[in-house]
Amino acid sequence: MKALILVGGFGTRLRPLTLTMPKPLVEFANKPMILHQIEALAAVGVTDVVLAVNYRPEIMERVLKEYEDKLGVKIHFSLENEPLGTAGPLKLAEEILAKDDSPFFVLNSDVTCEFPFKALAEFHKSHGDEGTIVVTKVEEPSKYGVVVHKPNHPSRIDRFVEKPVEFVGNRINAGMYMLNTSVLRRIEKNRPTSIEQETFPAIVRDGQLHSFDLEGFWMDVGQPKDFLTGTCLYLSSLAKKQPHLLVSPSESYVHGGNVMIDESAKIGKNCRIGPNVVIGKNVVIGDGVRLQRCTLLPGSKVKDHAWIKSTIVGWNSVVGKWARLENVTVLGDDVTIGDEIYVNGGSVLPHKSIKANVDYPSIIM
């Protein structure tokens, strides 16, 4: 089987992290974001994965090389020289996607969920039409494009309504599809095309598009606030399904569960950690540290008595003693936060040293 992942750009929404690392390589729950998807695809027998990118992917090629053998997949990079929208990259990768007649998966790279690829493939096969899009239920459909089904049909899509004023349904496009190779013939070459606004409506008109309900959580983690929320959802899911990947709640310092700690990390005395905390490779945590709802990326260090909540601590950053970080603070690579400093919603660019309080959400250049 084959799959295409729409990676796109460097990920400006996830700055300052993406100033140092392309977004697909930023660790989400201690694993590069894109690897969550590649692993899930490999698990259902996908052998060819196309990453559609619009920047030179050298670092990614290097990092992902080692996973090719490990997972038994071939990773292709498909580079757009000009923006092609969300459908154009499919046409660009036609050679690989259409190398046989079997349907292929398409994924947006920013999504975290319990990837339902096996069930999706079975469902797609069962209805026999051209395409299936995964949909997820939302509480406020008026903010999204909503899927409306044909009367008396559970899955065949009748139309899409963008930001509905009146309630027409509560299922939205979750950014994952399974498509037959025939869809590629609907896309023009070298023209920027939107899959959501051009390709899908065309398939809908032919009655060939179905929806597939996603079970469990779904989150677009393309920006820091959602990255943190997505981490909470992901860890909660692990707690139910793969609790062995989390630190046991009986551990003395764990508070409220959902704590993932890389085995190379060091934790000091009298800490209180959790809920919803991810601690990366070679991270060092001092004594009396309080962590909640945060991700500490590899090589970072948190000194004694610091307090961190709703924060992403970037690679190799250092947080001083009695410092307090909160309200979606994001530290880039190699940032230093001085002792006793308070940072409220600061977005701190790489290699900065913060010596005065950041009282209001702001970007520290």
Partner 1 sequence: MLQVPIREKHNGPGKGTKAVILVGGPSRGTRFRPLSLDVPKPLFDVAGHPIIWHCLTAIAKVPSIQEVIMIGYYDESVFKDFIKEAASEFPNLPIKYLREYQALGTAGGLYHFRDAILKGRPERIFVLNSDVCCSFPLNEMAKLFDDKDAEAVILGTRVSEDAATNFGCIVSDQHSRRVLHYVEKPESHISNLINCGVYLFSVDAIFPSIKTAIKRRTDRPRLVSYPSSENLESSFMADEDEEKKNEVIRLEQDILSDLADSKQFFVYETKDFWRQIKTAGSAVPANALYLQKAYQTESNELAKPSPNVIPPVFIHPTAHVDPTAKLGPNVSIGPRAVIGPGARVKESIVLEDAEIKHDACVLYSIVGWNSRVGAWARVEGTPTPVTSHSTSIVKNGVKVQSITILGKECGVGDEVRVQNCVCLPFKELKRVCSTSSSGKPNLLRGIKLTN
Active site residues: 163
CB of 363 to partner 1, least distance (A): 17
Token pair listed for 349: 């660019």
Distance linking the first and last C-alpha atoms of the chain: 45
* Residue 207: DSSP 8-state: T
Distance CA 344, CA 329 (A): 6
* Nearest C-alpha neighbor of 283 from the set 265, 267, 261: 265
In this complex, which beta carbon is closest to partner 1, that of residue 23 or of residue 324?
Answer: 324
Query: Tokens 């070459």 sit at which residue?
Result: 189
CB of 258 to partner 1, least distance (A): 18
Interatomic CA distance for residues 343 and 346, integer angstroms: 6
Smallest distance from partner 1 to CB 233, Å: 23
What residues make contact with partner 1 under the rule CB under 8 A? 270, 272, 287-288, 290, 304-305, 307, 321-322, 324, 326, 340, 342, 344, 359-360
Q: Which residues contact 31 (CB under 8 A, 6 or more apart)?
A: none
**CB within 8 Å of 155: residues ≥ 6 apart:** 123, 127, 149, 210, 211, 212
CB of 301 to partner 1, least distance (A): 17
> How far, in Å, CA of 62 to CA of 42, rounded?
19
Q: How many Cα atoms are found within 13 Å in the side-chain-facing hemisphere of 227?
A: 31
The burial class, CB within 10 Å (0-12 / 13-18 / 19+), for 68 is middle
Report the nearest approach of partner 1 to the CB of residue 235 (Å): 20
Residue number with CB closer to partner 1 (67 or 253): 253
CB of 353 to partner 1, least distance (A): 20
| Tokens 């990255």 sit on residue | 227
- 284, 267 Cβ separation under 8 angstroms: no
Of the two residues 2 and 324, which places its CB atom closer to partner 1 in the complex?
324
Cβ distance to partner 1 smaller for residue 124 or 324: 324
Joined tokens for residue 219: 């989150």
248 versus 362: smaller Cβ distance to partner 1: 362
Nearer to partner 1, 212 or 307 (CB): 307
Which residues, in sequence order, are bridge partners of residue 348? Answer: 331, 364
- In this complex, which beta carbon is closest to partner 1, that of residue 237 or of residue 344? 344
> Closest approach of Cβ 305 to partner 1, in Å?
5
Could you write out the DSSP letters of every residue in 136-174? EE-S-GGGSEEEEEPTT-SSBEEEEEES-SS---SEEEE
